[in-house]
Amino acid sequence: MSEFSIAIPAHDRGENGPKWMRELLDTLEQQTCQDFEVVISDQSKNDNIMEACQDYDFDFTYCKYTGNIPCENINVALENCTGRIIKIMFSDDIFMRKDALERIKHEYDSNECKWAFSGFANWDDNDYFDNKLPEWRERTLEGNNHLSSPSVVSFLNEGRVDFDHNLKLLLDVDFYHRMRWLHGKPNIIPEVLVANRDHGDRISSDATSQYDCVVEHSDGNWMMNSKELNYVHQKYPQFFMNQKYPDEN
């Protein structure tokens, strides 16, 4: 069994799809810890992603996902992971440091870690910006997401949960909510290990037309989708009665 499974849900993004995949795999090729498998679930209608992967000598599991639901594409990758630690990486993101996997492994080996977030940066093709540490804030489940994307999270394979295929804008925070409910608050790795690519084709950007309401909070207001908000309220009535997790009682 490998130490890590790198779970990569891939999408058809034209010429950027294989280009960005190679950039991610380049940062995997440079890792000081090479005890990993790469598990790709590819939503593309062509073979460009698969052909890009053939340039790398990794232990690959490649799956073709024929549906059109982002969460299901992620879940297919997760279901095929066999490593001790699952590290999700969206195919448009990269590792920032050559010792990123080694640092994550240390967290699990040293601190009784069940799941963890690392520091992250945002970036475009020109520069990195906004280095940040994840924060769990009030009303995270309703979209007050200061934890970042799933590319920042890792977790023990034995404790994984699936993403809810009914959600799009709240797919990440719903996943984080259920992980915390089961495993307690995540460990925070203070180093910046991952970069999230800033571009107009991200899942949240693609759903811009679905932002149809404002959530008001002392942290500041944010736009959200009313249908998804109603869905999570109906899904977790017990939580919304007192807004507390088991580790807070």
Task: For residue 221, count other CB atoms closer than 10 A to its CB.
Answer: 11
pLDDT score at 40: 98
What backbone phi and psi angles, to 5 degrees, belong to 135? -135, 135
Domain spans of the chain, in order of start: 4-248
Q: How many residues does the chain have?
A: 249
pLDDT score at 203: 58
pLDDT score at 199: 63
Q: Minimal CA–CA distance to 134: which of 142, 123, 144?
A: 144
CA–CA separation, 194 vs 202, rounded Å? 16
DSSP strand pairing (213-215 vs 222-224): antiparallel
Q: Minimal CA–CA distance to 186: which of 194, 175, 195?
A: 175
CB-based burial, 201-215: b 16+ in 10 Å, e otherwise: eebbeeeeeeeeeeb
| CATH superfamily, region 4-248 | Spore Coat Polysaccharide Biosynthesis Protein SpsA; Chain A (3.90.550.10)
Residue with structure tokens 């009313």?
226
Residue with structure tokens 């910006």?
129
Averaged over successive runs of 10 residues, the pLDDT of the chain (249 residues) comes to: 96 85 97 98 94 95 92 96 98 96 98 96 80 96 96 98 95 98 98 87 56 90 95 97 92
